[in-house]
A and B are shown apart, each in its own frame.
Chain A
Amino acid sequence: MSARILYIEDNESNMYLVNFLLEARGHTVLQAWDGRQGVELALREQPDLILLDIQLPVMDGYEIARAIRAEASLARVPIVALTSYAMSGDREKALGAGCDGYLEKPINPETFVASVEQFLPTAP
């Protein structure tokens, strides 16, 4: 099953790596480089899933998650946070802000896509 996944990330290396891994498995990736662009794209494109970096400038991941959840059309889209391995408090905060789950950075390229796919809504 191929999904449309929005990835909000300001770091180029992570963006291209995740983009490569997801596309290599047949998914389509929408790229947003900051929160404002991310929420805009989410509203317009209605992705199947949102991947969200937590450490972003201006509007951090928690704010973005709350902003997405505040939109009626996006209330049910799964949001998966990418949290830094070192920051254990991030996970609870991410779940508290409306994320459905989190994955740790650095990601494991071998298992990353399968982990993301677990959060995809099952086809109706």
Chain B
Amino acid sequence: MATILVVDDQAENRYLLEVLLKGHGLAAVLAANGAEALALADGQDIDLVIADILMPVMDGYSLCRAWRQDPRLALVPFVFYTATYTEPRDEQFGLSLGADRFLIKPMPVEDLLAVILELLARGPRAPADIPADEPAYLREYNLALFRKLESKMAANARLEEEVRHFQNVESLGRMAGSVAHDLNNLLGPILGMAGFLLENYGEHPELHKRLATILVAAEQARSLVQGLTEFARKEVPAFEPVDLNLLVRQAVDLLEADARPGIRWELRLEPDLPRFPGAPVALARVLMNLGRNALDATLPPGSVRIATRTLDPGRVELTVADTGHGIPPELMARVTEPFFTTKAQGRGTGLGLAIVQNIVRAHAGTLAVESEVGQGTCIRVVLPAG
């Protein structure tokens, strides 16, 4: 049985490779950095190395060089498997140290396995020329490490930004929930009393007009509060098999009443779309919010297209595309932000897409927005289907 040495500072990456290798009849030994790898190789025969690059104590480039300099290890195949790939120069540098392959994480497991099996079948490699310890090589080495550090830092910064955004949304949600509760209590008597007055003293035309104004405003306030409550809702309803196409048709029936004449509906629903586990009421809300946004953005003549399809056996895709005014690039990052709206005062709460985002997240799905000013907007929701 061939033995593969896996070198990665992330325990979960080591674990994943170990499972993959063992599942295919290969033995795996694991090291957290280059120094550990060399120590392990000292006591046993290794048939192939898979190494990450940025690791504490001893990085992958150093390991590769040391590996090729050790007469006992020099002919053992060496593969770099690294996530934060930046430039072809990194690959060139890795190969110049005597690596056999430079692979980018994450890679489909079949492809990764194919490379491993191919190299194992080929057996010992030809001796590599190891670059001399001279300034030109060191400069290249410094730059290669720095590029890795840079892309890792950029990835970390993006992640932190996302976490911060998520925390903001969460705390907003909690606040919104408690505000909504109090507001609802206040709106009860306003709506009730105005209704009572209208019913009993409404024949007076002047009074009727004033009371109707109060009622309309209070109704608007109530729908805002309802949006807040939905946005703040944390508990995920129980999942059941969902027929997404049926939900789309129901939503369109409801939305049609509000659609301006001259807006065309286009439904492209995959006939055999599989049912998948989801919360039907929440997904209906997703469709209503996306549909309403599309209608609000589109002036006649125009169209709103809703499509469903199977992306691959595990995922379904829902797209809602309009031919409306589009979203300027500078506002794209804010569209899912709670209370952010470009609709006229009183028309939008700024919660529609934030609610959609929450629901999609609760389904472990993803939401993407593509838009071009003057051309339209397409919202793409991908949900796990099994």
Binding site for B on A (CB under 8 A): 13-14, 16-17, 20, 23-25, 85, 106-110
Contact = CB atoms under 8 A, between A and B. Distances in A.
Contacts of A106: 135, 138-139, 141-142
B194 interface: no
20 contacts: A13-B142, A13-B143, A17-B142, A17-B145, A17-B149, A20-B145, A24-B55, A24-B56, A24-B59, A25-B56, A25-B57, A106-B135, A106-B138, A106-B139, A107-B138, A107-B142, A108-B133, A109-B59, A109-B141, A110-B65
A16 B142 contact: no
Interface string B32-71: 0000000000000000000000111111011001100000
A17 B152 CA distance: 12
Contact of B146 (A17, A25, A85, A108): A17
B142 A24 contact: no
B153 interface: yes
A106 B142 CA distance: 7
A24 B57 contact: yes
Given A13-B143, A20-B149, A25-B56, A109 B61 contact: yes
Contacts of A108: 133, 138, 141
A85 B133 CA distance: 13
B135 A85 contact: yes
Nearest to B139: A106
B150 interface: yes
Nearest to B63: A110
Nearest to B140: A106
A110 B69 CA distance: 13
Contacts of B150: 16
B149 A109 contact: no
B56 A109 contact: no
A106 B62 CA distance: 15
A108 to B, nearest CB: 5
Q: Please name the 6 residue pairs, one residue from A and one from B, whose CB atoms are nearest each other, closest first.
A: A24-B56, A106-B138, A106-B139, A13-B146, A110-B62, A106-B142
Interface string B135-161: 100110111011001100100000000
A78 B343 CA distance: 64
A109 B62 contact: yes
Contacts of A17: 142, 145-146, 149
B54 to A, nearest CB: 8
A110 B38 CA distance: 14
A16 B57 contact: no
A51 to B, nearest CB: 15
* Residue of A24, A25, A85, A107 with most partner-chain B CB within 10 A: A24
A75 B159 CA distance: 43
Interface string B344-367: 000000000000000000000000
A109 B145 CA distance: 9
A88 B293 CA distance: 69
Contacts of B138: 106-108
A85 B143 CA distance: 16
Contacts of B57: 24-25
Nearest to B34: A110
A21 B141 CA distance: 13
B253 to A, nearest CB: 58
B9 to A, nearest CB: 9
Nearest to B147: A13
Given A106-B139, A109-B62, A16 B153 contact: yes
